[in-house]
């Protein structure tokens, strides 16, 4: 450290109620929660983050919050912490002041993790009861004090209704890295993500909401780096407040704000995929980067033997969200991203972990109740991934309003129906109806189900029709990783083909699955690239592939798939197809609810025996939306057939058997229904003549 006069704390301006490094007035307030620490040192670094200039003991502590105010410490100051306390792994305590620790509330980071054994609190090569004395600061990223001021141009949140929402799950880098029209210097960054070619594409296909894979700062796990791979998806969080620095061209958080402002001006909302169930520090044998060294026993769930982590996530640790100060950190992070960064909502990774209390998953757990009563968070878009790997973790349909949920049953049943599995009519009718068995309870709306057939985890949509088996060899695990439950069908050839008949069949099935997503009640979500016919070469676990396997191949984009998505999104909007209320039957019509009727290809109402006919692969849904009119949706997963239409004239709006999927042909009587296709029609209302 340089021989300089250290700055002095001003107790008169210090605050314990504002956690993190908050630039206030002409200085910065520093506050860190650690219930079991005996001393906390604030370390100030030069602007590069390489040289430690001062090491100052935070002078005050209240309720486990250590704090102090330093005048003249301005935005741009680089800092970290060293926390003193008992090193008693058998009691859950792993304090080691030799390890520089990242502030959990840091808004911006300087530097990156350089993997070295010094990052561990114990001595590598010995057990975790040993104590390592090496300084980890040279290998650690540091926090940066920021100025949060930004000109939002008095913008207001878009608040797109759930009934009008079309979600597009995307990766900041993967979306732009191989786009020929995005300036090369902007590819892989937020600035590239909101460049004109990307915005224009999203608007053309009817996207209202972009759901971004994790953008919180995350670690590239050591074992991946040593295999020349990376944690591409980002589900290994290091900081819940700071964005991932490689996505920023300048390294400054204002780039994220600029991107969100640009999306909003284009009428597109932004949802963040957030990972509050675990961190990148791994099990008790993992590294000490932040939470473990600050207060392991408070920030993490521990086993009965407190030396060991309690893991419900499959990552080595579980964040202890039931602890009031850890819960506060999570809530502070969510409010920060809404109020300061203007995001429109969140998708919670492994959300069941966030509801784990002493008796297991609790739908009324402290985390969920905290959000439901919060005046800021209860009004934004909230989506749960409703499962984890622990006992009782699968909870599809088990959440309360205002949460929506990823519905993997929609994915599986849709894939099985279009794969021509027998006996799927009942299941697909449930999915078209918004999955009422799962969601029509506890006053939940018909928009509770987020419907998808492909997401980042698993095959892309095109790969579900191109591969029977996963091909994950590039991941370096001898193809053992990734699940085998793909419900896929290569339709005659494994992988790419030059057989025109197979290619046509694949296109038909892809259009059929996309039509199912857009024509069902609930909220449609598509994976970025599925509208292009994008492939990952059969890799269904591309989490570590920061390369052409995962990047969207814009040069190989299929216009026929893209146009189908655009037509389906437009039809959904124009017909007012989506409803907040579940449909009733004509016999038990409820005022203010849509009315639905299920039709056999004969044109008659479906009978009990029809539903159990394992060989029947076509059915129709006649729907009367609340907004008026009638919509007829006809699905045929089988061979060419005919469908007897209800009386009157019908306008054929969608026919996925045709290359030109949007049309306006007037028909009556019988509809010729092509193999593996969907048709959507609206009733023609005779115009009243002049009198």
What is the token pair recorded at 43? Answer: 């370390």
pLDDT interval class at 241 (50, 70, 90) = very high
The domain total for the chain is 2
Q: What average pLDDT does this structure show over 634-663? A: 91
- Please give the pLDDT value at position 3: 52
Other Cβ atoms less than 10 A from the Cβ of 520: the count is 26
Task: Say if 474 falls within a structural domain.
Answer: yes
Name the residue with higher pLDDT: 591 or 240: 240
What is the β-pairing status of strands 381-384 and 404-406?
parallel
Task: Say if 136 falls within a structural domain.
Answer: no
Residue 542, pLDDT > 50, answer yes
Interatomic CA distance for residues 342 and 348, integer angstroms:
17
Which residues, at least 6 apart from 375, have a Cβ–Cβ distance to it below 8 Å?
none
Q: What average pLDDT does this structure show over 399-426? A: 97
Q: What average pLDDT does this structure show over 57-61? A: 98
Residue 319, pLDDT > 70, answer yes
Q: What average pLDDT does this structure show over 236-245? A: 97
Domain with 168 in it: 164-274+345-359+380-575
pLDDT interval class at 661 (50, 70, 90) = low
Of 554, 575, 596, the position where a domain reaches its end is 575
Interatomic CA distance for residues 203 and 509, integer angstroms:
25
Task: Say if 251 falls within a structural domain.
Answer: yes
Lowest mean pLDDT among 341-345, 438-442, 589-593, 622-626: 589-593
Residue 474, pLDDT > 60, answer yes
| CATH at residue 567 | 3.20.20.80
What is the token pair recorded at 643? Answer: 């469908």
- Please give the pLDDT value at position 591: 83
557 and 450 in a single domain? The answer is yes
Q: What average pLDDT does this structure show over 150-163? A: 87
pLDDT interval class at 687 (50, 70, 90) = low
432 and 456 in a single domain? The answer is yes
Q: 3-state SS string over 172-189?
A: HHHHHCCCCCCCHHHCCC
In 3D, which of 683, 586, 556, 548 has the Cα closest to residue 629?
683
Distances from the Cα of 638 to the Cα of 423, 463, 524, 661, 675, angstroms = 12, 20, 24, 19, 6
> Among this protein's residues, is 117 annotated catalytic?
no
DSSP 156-220: ------GGG--EEEE-HHHHHTT-TTS-GGGTTSHHHHTSHHHHHHHHHTT--EEEES--B-B--
In 3D, which of 82, 73, 77, 133 has the Cα closest to residue 110?
77
Percent of all residues in the chain with a pLDDT value above 70, rounded to a whole number: 99
Interatomic CA distance for residues 277 and 385, integer angstroms:
11
Task: Say if 83 falls within a structural domain.
Answer: no
498 and 608 in a single domain? The answer is no
Residue 427, pLDDT > 80, answer yes
| CATH at residue 600 | 2.60.40.1180
Element (H, E) at 430: helix 425-432
Task: Say if 73 falls within a structural domain.
Answer: no
Buried b (16+ CB within 10 A) or exposed e, 554-592: beebbeebbbbbbbbbbbbbebbbbbbbbbbeeeeeeee
Interatomic CA distance for residues 378 and 369, integer angstroms:
10
- Please give the pLDDT value at position 361: 86
Of 541, 575, 609, the position where a domain reaches its end is 575
In 3D, which of 690, 652, 689 has the Cα closest to residue 670?
652
236 and 218 in a single domain? The answer is yes
pLDDT interval class at 688 (50, 70, 90) = low
Residue 249: strand, helix, or coil: coil
675 and 655 in a single domain? The answer is yes
Which residues, at least 6 apart from 539, have a Cβ–Cβ distance to it below 8 Å?
470, 471, 472, 474, 475, 482, 545, 549
Q: What average pLDDT does this structure show over 269-296? A: 97
535 and 596 in a single domain? The answer is no
Q: What average pLDDT is seen over the chain?
A: 95
- Please give the pLDDT value at position 111: 95
Task: Say if 93 falls within a structural domain.
Answer: no
481 and 629 in a single domain? The answer is no
562 and 467 in a single domain? The answer is yes
pLDDT interval class at 662 (50, 70, 90) = low
Q: What average pLDDT does this structure show over 536-540? A: 97
590 and 463 in a single domain? The answer is no
624 and 558 in a single domain? The answer is no
Q: Phi and psi of 101, rounded to 5°?
A: -120, 140
416 and 531 in a single domain? The answer is yes
Catalytically annotated residue among 349, 503, 531, 546: 349
Interatomic CA distance for residues 293 and 35, integer angstroms:
12
Task: Say if 519 falls within a structural domain.
Answer: yes
> Among this protein's residues, is 649 annotated catalytic?
no
pLDDT interval class at 627 (50, 70, 90) = confident
CB 100 within 8 A of CB 113: no
- Please give the pLDDT value at position 269: 98
Residue 426, pLDDT > 50, answer yes
Read off the pLDDT of residues 187-201 as tens digits, 9 standing for 90 and up.
999 999 999 999 999
Residue 128, pLDDT > 70, answer yes
Element (H, E) at 562: helix 559-574
Read off the pLDDT of residues 445-469 as tens digits, 9 standing for 90 and up.
999 999 999 999 999 999 999 999 9
Interatomic CA distance for residues 374 and 333, integer angstroms:
13
- Please give the pLDDT value at position 618: 96
Interatomic CA distance for residues 452 and 459, integer angstroms:
12
What is the token pair recorded at 41? Answer: 């040192």
Name the residue with higher pLDDT: 302 or 25: 302
| Alpha-carbon torsion, ordered 551, 556, 558, 562, to 10 deg | 30
pLDDT interval class at 676 (50, 70, 90) = very high
Task: Say if 433 falls within a structural domain.
Answer: yes
Residue 691, pLDDT > 90, answer no
Distances from the Cα of 84 to the Cα of 99, 131, 259, angstroms = 10, 13, 40
What is the token pair recorded at 496? Answer: 């790419």
In 3D, which of 577, 599, 589 has the Cα closest to residue 644?
599
Catalytically annotated residue among 108, 169, 344, 385: 385
Residue 588, pLDDT > 70, answer yes
- Please give the pLDDT value at position 538: 97
Of 530, 555, 575, the position where a domain reaches its end is 575
CA angle 436, 439, 445 (to 5 degrees): 95
198 and 233 in a single domain? The answer is yes
Q: What average pLDDT does this structure show over 222-231? A: 93
pLDDT interval class at 690 (50, 70, 90) = very low
- Please give the pLDDT value at position 686: 78
């Amino acid at each position: 450290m340089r021989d300089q006069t250290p700055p002095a704390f001003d107790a008169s301006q210090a605050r314990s109620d504002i956690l993190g490094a908050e630039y206030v007035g002409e200085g910065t307030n520093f506050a860190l929660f650690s219930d079991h620490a005996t001393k906390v040192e604030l370390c100030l670094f030069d602007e590069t983050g390489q040289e430690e200039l001062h090491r100052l003991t935070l002078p005050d502590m209240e309720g486990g919050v250590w704090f102090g105010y330093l005048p003249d410490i301005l935005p741009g100051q680089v800092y970290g912490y060293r926390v003193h306390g008992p090193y008693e792994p058998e009691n859950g305590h792993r304090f080691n002041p030799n390890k520089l620790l990242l502030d959990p509330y840091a808004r911006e980071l300087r530097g990156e993790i350089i993997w070295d054994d010094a990052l561990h609190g114990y001595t590598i090569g010995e057990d975790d009861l040993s104590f390592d004395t090496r300084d980890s600061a040279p290998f650690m990223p540091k926090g940066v004090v920021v100025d949060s001021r930004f000109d939002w141009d008095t913008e207001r949140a878009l608040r797109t209704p759930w009934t009008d929402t079309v979600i597009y799950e995307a990766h900041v880098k993967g979306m732009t890295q191989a786009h020929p029209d995005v300036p090369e210097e902007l590819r892989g960054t937020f600035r590239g993500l909101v460049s004109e070619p990307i915005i224009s594409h999203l608007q053309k296909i009817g996207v209202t909401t972009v759901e971004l894979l994790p953008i919180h700062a995350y670690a590239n796990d050591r074992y991946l780096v040593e295999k020349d791979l990376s944690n591409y998806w980002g589900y290994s969080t290091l900081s819940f407040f700071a964005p991932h620095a490689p996505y920023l061209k300048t390294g400054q958080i204002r780039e994220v704000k600029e991107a969100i402002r640009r999306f909003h001006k284009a009428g597109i909302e932004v949802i963040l995929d957030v990972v509050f169930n675990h961190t990148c520090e791994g099990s008790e044998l993992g590294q000490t980067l932040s939470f473990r060294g600050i207060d392991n026993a408070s920030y993490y769930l521990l086993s009965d033997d407190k030396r060991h982590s309690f893991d419900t996530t499959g990552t080595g640790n579980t964040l202890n969200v039931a602890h009031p100060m850890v819960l506060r950190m999570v809530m502070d992070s969510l409010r920060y991203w809404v109020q300061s960064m203007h995001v429109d909502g969140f998708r919670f990774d492994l959300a069941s972990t966030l509801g784990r209390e002493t008796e297991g998953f609790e739908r009324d757990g402290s985390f969920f109740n905290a959000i439901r009563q919060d005046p800021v968070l209860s009004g934004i878009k909230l989506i749960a991934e409703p499962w984890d790997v622990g006992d009782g973790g699968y909870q599809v349909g088990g959440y309360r309003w205002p949460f929506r949920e990823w519905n993997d049953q929609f994915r599986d049943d849709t894939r099985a129906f279009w794969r021509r599995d027998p006996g799927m009519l009942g299941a697909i009718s449930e999915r078209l109806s918004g999955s009422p068995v799962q969601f029509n309870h506890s006053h939940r709306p018909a928009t509770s189900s987020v419907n998808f057939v492909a997401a980042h985890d698993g095959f892309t949509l095109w790969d579900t029709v191109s591969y029977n088996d996963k091909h994950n060899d590039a991941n370096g695990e001898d193809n053992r990783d990734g699940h085998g439950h793909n419900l896929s069908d290569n339709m005659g050839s494994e992988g790419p083909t030059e057989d025109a008949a197979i290619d046509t069949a694949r296109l038909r099935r892809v259009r059929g699955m996309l039509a199912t997503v857009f024509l069902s009640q609930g909220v449609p979500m598509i994976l970025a690239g599925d509208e292009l016919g994008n492939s990952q070469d059969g890799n269904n676990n591309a989490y570590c592939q920061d390369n052409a396997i995962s990047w969207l191949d814009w040069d190989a984009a299929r216009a026929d798939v893209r146009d189908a998505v655009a037509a389906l999104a437009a039809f959904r909007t124009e017909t007012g197809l989506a409803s907040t209320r579940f449909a009733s039957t004509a016999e038990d019509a409820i005022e203010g609810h849509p009315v639905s009727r299920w039709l056999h290809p004969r044109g008659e109402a479906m009978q009990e025996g029809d539903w159990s006919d394992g060989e029947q692969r076509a059915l129709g849904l006649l729907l009367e939306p609340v907004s008026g009119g009638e919509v007829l949706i006809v699905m045929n997963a089988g061979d060419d057939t005919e469908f007897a239409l209800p009386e009157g004239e019908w306008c054929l709006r969608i026919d996925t058997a045709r290359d030109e999927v949007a049309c306006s042909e007037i028909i009556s009587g019988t509809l010729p229904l092509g193999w593996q296709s969907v048709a959507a029609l609206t009733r023609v209302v005779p115009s009243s003549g002049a009198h």
